[in-house]
Chain A
Amino acid sequence: MADTQEIRGCVIRTDLYYSVDDHTWVQVNDDGTVNIGMTDVAQNMAGPLLHAKTKSVGTMRKKGKPVATVESAKWVGPVKSPISGEIVAVNEEIEKDATIINRSPYRQGWIVKMKPTNLDEELKGLLTGDAAVEAYRQKIESEDIKGCEHVEGFEA
């Protein structure tokens, strides 16, 4: 199991890279690809997700452009890519059942896999480890984000 820390009940995995402002994470895989997803904070703010629609495999994305849209009963918005690159796989399971993101935001609920075009440089602009936890703590406190509550079967 990866190391985790909690802020107001929201789980932050310290082995991932984060774009805290966009509530997204990046996992660097051994083959040089990256997985991208929403953070625990994001899935909590959105509430139970009804739909997730990803961009198609083969789509080139610049950092900051959406790789998917997600919607709940009370919110709809983009999942902005923290990394530039080509989408090489999408998680078809979340299109069938978007609540997978609520249950497992960092694992089963990954959203797209990308082949990055500028990874080393762009990772420098993301936060990981304790720095990510501290930045998220500040964001949660300064914006007074409500604490996280988890559904049954939640995994970090």
Chain B
Amino acid sequence: MDDFEGKKILVIQTHGVETPTRTYSPLFYAMAAAAMEMDVMVWFTMNGTNQLKKGEAEKIKLDPTSDVTLKTMLEQAIESGVKLRVCQQSLALWNMTQDDLIDGVEILGATSIINLALESDHVMYF
């Protein structure tokens, strides 16, 4: 395995709970990059924001025979060192405030995300 330690990956997630099959993979890729010692951030914006509302991610389960829900994936991502950030402006789309967010998510504005995109070695957009 090549050494990618310290590379920066920015994953942008624009899909939310209304399209469950589009929710797991970006988190899975983020965890893979974290396992490869990269500096990984997932940026939730547009519809992606709604999965971060308390009580929502628990309802999403792709495999009915498994215990793993979208909430599990989000928690595993945080545990593996992936940083979760949400777009401040998109919170309003879903009538959400900071109090509605699950633990471990920070709010950033649009200028911050542009800076992060420019500083990253690669951006993955979903």
Name A residues whose Cβ lies closer than 8 Å to a Cβ of B.
53-56, 59, 65-66, 68-69, 71, 74-78
Contacts and interface: CB of A to CB of B under 8 A. Distances in A.
B31 A77 contact: yes
A91 to B, nearest CB: 13
Interface of B: 1-3, 28, 31-32, 34-37, 63, 66, 68, 76, 80
Contacts of A54: 1
B36 A69 contact: yes
Nearest to A90: B1
Contacts of A76: 28, 31-32, 35
Given A69-B32, A77-B35, 8 more contacts: A55-B1, A56-B3, A66-B37, A69-B1, A74-B68, A75-B76, A78-B37, A78-B80
A71 B3 CA distance: 18
Nearest to A55: B1
Given A55-B1, A59-B3, A71 B32 contact: yes
A74 B66 CA distance: 9
